[in-house]
Amino acid sequence: MRLYTQSMLQDYLDCPRRFQLRYVQNLNWPAPRSTPIIAQEEHEEAGARFHRLVQQYYLGLPQTAIERLASTPDLLRWWKNFLESPYRPPHPFPGARRFTEALLSFPVHAEARLVARFDLVQMDSDGHVLIVDWKTSRKRPHPFSLLQRMQTRLYRFLLVAAGQSWRNGEAIVPSQVEMLYWFAEYPQDPIRFSYSQEEYQRDSEWFPRLIQEIENATVFPATDEERLCRYCAYRSYCARGVRAGSWEEMDEETEAASVFDVNFEQVAEIAF
């Protein structure tokens, strides 16, 4: 059984060669993605810890106990932003069912499944389904670019295609689904996306076609967009530069879309 996550599909769409090096040849992180490495790694680690704090909050641990774990200035600021944000789903919330750090998958065919790990899914008693994704990137991406990302497309699609198992078998219709990206540095400015029957129909046809294309591929060309190589760990395999791009100069799309999700999704990834 092969599992496909949004990171894998995004890699394939961004650069088929990156997909080949990472998932077909299993070459993992041969070079730093950006410099300085320590600042980037510390930020990633803080992002992972913030996700754990929020998960503990929704599991019902006391706020004071969680706050004691917010041990760095970034974490403490994000945690306070989280508590004060009007866009944070309140807890407890009678009538809502919640799933945190939960995996959902859907078979594309007998040998392949789409899979996603959700930060938070809230099912309200009125049928509304809210997907929340916490982002700790320093910059806020443009909504249009986020709408194009595989995460936005796959998460909404998976919820409709397979989420009935989280609602006692009751089907979820696309218009009930909303996805909210909440930014720890921009707590008053989340980005929200609805979903429609037309988009679901489009995705129902598009994802199986994409998987088929990947599984039939015999050549994996390098991207023509060389800007993507600046922050790619495989530069040395492609003669696309030796030096990593500057973390300080990383644009919002690159950072918000790739830096943190990779770590959280690796649990679900397997070799191709």
Q: Which is nearer to ligand SF4, 229 or 256 (CB)?
A: 229
CA atoms within 13 A on the CB side of 228: 17
Q: Report the site for ligand SF4 in 6-65 (rule: CB under 6 A).
A: 15, 17-18, 21
Task: State the minimum distance, in angstroms, from the CB of residue 241 to ligand SF4.
Answer: 8
Task: State the minimum distance, in angstroms, from the CB of residue 34 to ligand SF4.
Answer: 13
Structure tokens, 142 = 């443009």
Q: Which is nearer to ligand SF4, 21 or 180 (CB)?
A: 21
Task: State the minimum distance, in angstroms, from the CB of residue 9 to ligand SF4.
Answer: 15
Task: State the minimum distance, in angstroms, from the CB of residue 31 to ligand SF4.
Answer: 9
Structure tokens, 131 = 């997907």
Task: State the minimum distance, in angstroms, from the CB of residue 146 to ligand SF4.
Answer: 20
Q: Report the site for ligand SF4 in 197-256 (rule: CB under 6 A).
A: 222-223, 228-229, 232, 234-235, 238, 240
Task: State the minimum distance, in angstroms, from the CB of residue 225 to ligand SF4.
Answer: 8
For 56, other C-beta atoms within 10 Å of its C-beta total 16
Q: Which is nearer to ligand SF4, 21 or 66 (CB)?
A: 21
For 42, other C-beta atoms within 10 Å of its C-beta total 13
Output the CA torsion 161→5→118→179 (10° steps).
-60
Q: Which is nearer to ligand SF4, 10 or 105 (CB)?
A: 10
State the first-to-last Cα distance of the chain, in angstroms, to the nearest integer: 9
Burial per residue of 132-149, b for 16 or more beta-carbon CB atoms within 10 angstroms, e otherwise: bbbbbbbbbbeeeebeeb
Number of residues that bind ligand SF4 (CB under 6 A): 13
Q: Which is nearer to ligand SF4, 3 or 13 (CB)?
A: 13
d(Cα 250, Cα 231) in Å, to the nearest integer? 8
Structure tokens, 229 = 């190589």
Residues at the site binding ligand SF4, with contacts judged by CB under 6 A: 15, 17-18, 21, 222-223, 228-229, 232, 234-235, 238, 240
